[in-house]
Amino acid sequence: AISASSNALLVKYDYTSGDPVWAFVPSTGSTATTTFFDVTTDDSNGIYATGTTATSGTYEFGIVTKASVTTVVSDTNAVLIKFNSLGAGIWAESADTASHRNEFYSLNYDNEAVYVGGYQNNTSTVIWDAGIETIGPMTNDNSVILKYSLSGEAIWAKTFSGGPESGRFNGIHATENNV
């Protein structure tokens, strides 16, 4: 996955020949941009992508069947999307409520869940899903990590500040009993 021009581009290549099988650019319905920072697959050849949208609005991800998400911040919004092996959008997630920018940079799949890492800005509250929220401890960028079920529900979310400067999770790895 790369950011092509002002929108993300997701391409699936044939393992043997290296030829493209399918490709798509998310539909934004406006001049808003999208970016994918990390992509991984699961044991069923499902594809997970994470990144950002550049403004509030409705975004559609996928080929033919699309997963849509409505983002709430007029700045950058973190997104997590699941696709099937044919590129159809299965689900897409973003914060339910936020007043400042937030972004996901990394993700990891571990057979039971999907973990994403990134940041949220400011000391405001971000509601990721019903009953799952984080409050930034610093006015700068605060590292944030979330665990999602394989069906796209947020299970837990944590935020962390390592000091007076901005913090972000740029990489994440999950193994049995460890994140």
User: Which H or E run includes 34?
Assistant: strand 34-41
Q: What pTM was computed for the model?
A: 0.89
Q: In the chain, pLDDT over 90 holds for what percent of residues? A: 52
pLDDT digits (tens, 9 = 90+) for 2-27: 444 478 889 999 999 999 999 988 87
- Beta strands 57-61 and 67-71 are antiparallel
Beta strands in 76-173 (DSSP E): 77-83, 89-93, 102-109, 114-121, 125-129, 132-135, 141-148, 154-160
Please tell me whether residue 169 adopts helix, strand or coil conformation. coil
pLDDT at 4: 41
Distance CA 57, CA 74 (A): 8
**What confidence tier does 30 reach under pLDDT thresholds 50, 70, 90?**
low
pLDDT at 5: 45
pLDDT digits (tens, 9 = 90+) for 92-132: 999 888 888 999 999 999 989 999 999 999 998 999 999 99
User: Environment class of residue 154 by beta-carbon count within 10 Å: exposed (0-12), middle (13-18) or buried (19+)?
Assistant: buried
Whether 165 shows a pLDDT value over 80: the answer reads no
